[in-house]
Amino acid sequence: MDETRDPSEKTHALIVAAGVGARTGLDVPKQFEKISGKPMVRHSVDSLSSHPGIDQIWIVVAAEQEDQLNQALVPLSFYKLVIGGATRQQSVYNGLAAIRQAGGAKNILVHDAARPFVSHQVVDRLLDRLKSGSAAIPVLPSVDTMVELLGDQIDRTLDRSSLWRVQTPQAFDFLKLIAAHENFKAGLDASDDAQIFKAAGHAVSIVEGDEALKKYTLPADFTEKGTEHMRQTRTGMGYDVHRLAAGEELWLGGVKIDHDKGLAGHSDADVLLHALTDALLGTVAAGDIGDHFPPSDPQWRGAASARFVEHAASLIAEKGGIIHNVDMTVICEAPKIKPHRETIRRNIAGILSIGMDQVSIKATTTEGLGFAGRKEGIAAQAIATISLRRN
């Protein structure tokens, strides 16, 4: 997210997470309930913030939900928080007003936190449509027979070819949307911003939506069965080796460790992060670290390997993927890994924007056998498990 650009040229994302989720029957508001290992609101934040076309994230919550939101998003800090109103329309307007006060924006994406699995592809389609219009929303066709009821009886069957399911995020020209909200009839509410925008006399275009963008509303939606049909589990493996050499720094998991020798090789030669990068790339069949960061390219000489991990994680996010856990093993005689393990776990959790309970690091020796046993080098293995939305 670029802080240097003129605010009038920026695209912001406003995530509406101010509801109480009364229909879910949960003990906490649904936006803070865990889905696929993360608080629901975290999925939208991770996906939208990793999209190169989004410059700033704003999140609207109800009064007294600030602590719950901040806890759900640890260790993130780049988002801006707004307190919502009594209705969805008022909550969105509060967010828009805060953005205007901060300098405004060119475009705005308004997204409901109750639709956690937003993909980069949907955002791409919305932003592309804004190049030629002032509003775009994602829709999907109604594939079931649609009827209108009179009490508990069917009154008539509707023409489903003219009925479409509306989703979020919805994309708008910022100035036109905030004006539409200000002119919206007092006392009314709207289930989405396209209604408000159209009521102001503006045209609204459509783009293809995504089945993974379902809205989580009922108790069954939050069970494992409620999500399993939308996701597939994938696993990737990584392995790397670097030699120990005098005069080099020793980096493991993004943490500099004092030792009489360091690792020599590609970038900062962080063998643990290199193995992790390959494991992450493997989950989405995206080749290996050498394909993306060739060791022959001088720009990567001495580079921090955290950049490689971040890149692999961004490829997963682009496909709507969720990192569930990573498990790594360091193989060496020295240095001792245990004194540094928690620091490394915390660092990797931060790089991947996941909890520490999703990061496992172990260490072992080779009982004096082989290059590791002779203290000539260090090896590392990594496994990553993700879930990916089904096509």
Q: Mind listing the domains of the chain with CATH numbers?
A: 7-228 (3.90.550.10), 232-389 (3.30.1330.50)
Angle formed by the axes of helices 88-101 and 174-182, nearest 10°: 130
Question: What is the pLDDT at residue 223?
Answer: 67
pLDDT band at 224 (very low <50, low <70, confident <90, very high): low
Q: Is the pLDDT of residue 376 over 60?
A: yes
Q: What is the distance between the alpha carbons of residues 32 and 13, in angstroms, rounded to a whole number?
A: 19
Q: Is the pLDDT of residue 228 over 70?
A: no
pLDDT tens, residue by residue, 315-363: 998 887 889 999 999 999 999 999 999 999 999 999 998 889 999 999 9
Q: Is the pLDDT of residue 227 over 60?
A: no
Q: What is the distance between the alpha carbons of residues 155 and 152, in angstroms, rounded to a whole number?
A: 9
pLDDT tens, residue by residue, 163-215: 999 999 999 999 999 999 999 987 678 899 999 999 999 999 999 999 889 89
Helix (H) or strand (E) holding 325: strand 322-331
Q: Are 342 and 286 in contact (CB under 8 A)?
A: no
pLDDT band at 35 (very low <50, low <70, confident <90, very high): confident
pLDDT band at 298 (very low <50, low <70, confident <90, very high): confident
Question: What is the pLDDT at residue 219?
Answer: 76
Question: What is the pLDDT at residue 16?
Answer: 97
The percentage of the chain sitting over the pLDDT mark of 70, rounded to a whole number, equals 94
| 338's tokens | 């245990």
pLDDT tens, residue by residue, 90-118: 999 999 999 999 999 999 999 999 999 89
pLDDT band at 138 (very low <50, low <70, confident <90, very high): very high
Q: Is the pLDDT of residue 8 over 90?
A: no
Least Cα distance to 126 among 134, 115, 142, 137 occurs for 137
pLDDT band at 2 (very low <50, low <70, confident <90, very high): low
CB neighbours of residue 356 within 10 Å = 15
If you average pLDDT over residues 10-18, what whole number do you get? 96
Question: What is the pLDDT at residue 4?
Answer: 62
Q: What is the mean pLDDT of the chain?
A: 91
Least Cα distance to 212 among 135, 316, 140, 144 occurs for 140
